[in-house]
Amino acid sequence: MSGYLQYLRYGYQTLLSESLSHVLIVVAAMLVSFVVAAMLGLLAYRRAWLAEPLLSITSTALTLPSLALFGLMIPIFGLGFVPTLIVLVIYAVMPILRNLITGLNSISPAILEAATGIGMTRTRRLFVVEVPLAWPIIVTGLRFSSMMVVGVAAVGAYVGGPGLGATLFNGLAEVGSRSAVPEVLSATIMILLIAIALDGIFWLISRITVSPGIR
């Protein structure tokens, strides 16, 4: 315990700045993923036959071990922020896209027919009726995705990415030394705290943005 406190006294600044960069890369990855998933989702909405192949491709990406994927990035994008971001986006897109497509497909045909029947154009129908109705499912996808990304981001340290992975890998590399356990422990706790905070934020977003009529 005293070893842990001693570590914190010297290591807290690193820990805080790594936490901050961890949050930043997660937020960046989520923003990019949301845009990518929305574009792919729109494509699948316009061309229904694309939905299946898109979902298979993105699901397959999810089965790749993250370490392998990070390793693959090195020859193409080198080290640092960019390869980490790309890997995180590859992971994050699938749950968002899947929930987007599921959400849009779950809307009752009667509602769609009514929307078209009263004279909405396809675009208007999408934004005024379909997206708001699919929104709770879409937000759930974002929430799930963000949890996953917080974890995977730690592995990004393998390619020199930002975040708490650096401390984590440091600790793991020197198992047996006095600082090993405190490093691993505090990095893990910070990752958990970030995940919990993010989950809370998405809960709040969903409370605020989902219409009370469908909550």
In the complex, which residues of this chain contact other proteins (CB under 8 A)? 108, 110-111, 113-121, 124, 129, 132-133, 211-214
Whole-number minimum distance, CB 118 to other proteins, in Å? 5
- CA–CA separation, 202 and 139 (whole Å): 7
- Joined together, the tokens standing for residue 22 give 């961890």
Of 85, 90, 19, 98, nearest to 53 (Cα)? 98
User: By C-beta, is 65 or 119 nearer to other proteins?
Assistant: 119
User: By C-beta, is 135 or 169 nearer to other proteins?
Assistant: 135
Whole-number minimum distance, CB 105 to other proteins, in Å? 16
Whole-number minimum distance, CB 40 to other proteins, in Å? 24
Whole-number minimum distance, CB 214 to other proteins, in Å? 5
User: By C-beta, is 9 or 215 nearer to other proteins?
Assistant: 215
State whether the Cα torsion 120-139-88-59 is positive or negative: negative
User: By C-beta, is 52 or 113 nearer to other proteins?
Assistant: 113
Cβ neighbours of residue 165 closer than 8 Å, sequence gap 6 or more: 22, 153, 154, 155, 156, 157, 158, 187
CA separation, residue 162 to residues 1, 60, 106, 109, 184 (Å): 28, 26, 39, 46, 16
